[in-house]
Amino acid sequence: MPELNDFDWSTFVGGELGNVALLKELGRGVMGVVFTGFQKTLKRQVAVKVLLKSHASTGEAWNLFRDEGEALAVLNHPNIIPIYEMGETDDCYFQVMQLVEGGDLRSLIKRNLNHPLPSKRLIPLPETLDIVIQVLDGLGFAHEGGVIHQDVKPANILVENRNKRPLLADFGIARIFAAEYLSQGKIVGTPLYMSPEQASSATTDGRTDIYSMGVILFQMIVGTLPIKDESAVEMIECKKYMPETFFTKKPGQVPPGMDAELERIVLKSVEPDPGDRYAACQDFIEDLKKYRRFHLFRTSSGPATGHLV
């Protein structure tokens, strides 16, 4: 399969896909490139995700892409980016979706970590919990509709500038590659955030997205995850054969630390065995809401609220 960077994506700029004129490249991931576009019929700016047919080479790719788009089209949820249009040309498949005025969670985490003031290097805990709860609500809604993301990571969570609302992206393309890769015994997902069952190319369900959100929650609270300095391949091997050793420290042992109840929530969300994890996103949400209600602003001599504002 050719690499994304092997293709001259600038040839798309100035062209049209469906009724959208492509204006500029907005970003690229492992599986596709996103452009800013102008939807002529409704006179609005949109985001256009393009997947080359050479990057989804099986005959089933378009059916999967179409079916997933149709499933997402009826998932009307404030924390899932809506799809406006979908189609194909001789060279590519494309999806037209809402353009989010903001950045992704990965950039937000990184920007905070680089802040010159140590007290500002982590997203405040109340904001962290709000983001995670909202994303889990969107994922739970998708799971109820039979759609599993399978590549939940900070780069796939966009955060609006104005109201900090998080929106999930990249459902459809992740599913296409899941079907293609798993049929060949290959692995789908991002090693740091993928669940042990993904690393083993096993059957996945909504609990694999819960694991990924648990890793994200862990990362947002402590800044830098306590893991070995390993390559992506070594990371996958660890999750496949020794998942209980992936994190080298318990959440409460990593500065600025967290209290026992929040540590319990994080550890339950990233249990290596999916049977020991939260069974559904709503269960995860309820525990986070209870924590926020009863523990968040409690003062103590311990490290429970080390980075609250």
Quick one: tokens of 119? 């007290």
Task: Quickly state the pLDDT bin for 60 (edges 50, 70, 90).
Answer: low
Rounded CA-CA distance 170/158 in Å is 10
Q: 69 and 84, same structural domain?
A: yes
| Domain assignment of residue 70, yes or no | yes
Last residue of a domain, one of 75, 98, 121: 98
CATH code (residue 259): 1.10.510.10
Q: 286 and 174, same structural domain?
A: yes
Q: 218 and 193, same structural domain?
A: yes
CATH code (residue 81): 3.30.200.20
Q: 85 and 71, same structural domain?
A: yes
Rounded CA-CA distance 39/48 in Å is 10
Q: 75 and 16, same structural domain?
A: yes
Tens of pLDDT, residue by residue over 71-126, are 777 788 999 998 888 888 888 889 899 999 999 999 999 999 999 988 888 999 99
Last residue of a domain, one of 77, 98, 119: 98
Assess whether 151 carries a catalytic annotation. yes
Percent of the chain, pLDDT > 70? 83
Last residue of a domain, one of 82, 98, 114: 98
Rounded CA-CA distance 192/215 in Å is 8
Q: What is the pLDDT of residue 308?
A: 34
SS3 at position 174: helix
**Could you tell me if 95 and 69 are in contact, meaning their C-beta atoms sit under 8 angstroms apart?**
yes
Q: What is the pLDDT of residue 303?
A: 43
| Domain assignment of residue 10, yes or no | yes
Taking the chain, what is the end-to-end CA distance rounded to the nearest angstrom?
48
Q: Which of 151, 170, 209, 259 is catalytic?
A: 151
As for how many domains the chain has, the answer is 2
Full-prediction pTM beyond 0.75?
A: yes
Q: 275 and 242, same structural domain?
A: yes
Percent of the chain, pLDDT > 90? 57
Rounded CA-CA distance 255/222 in Å is 6
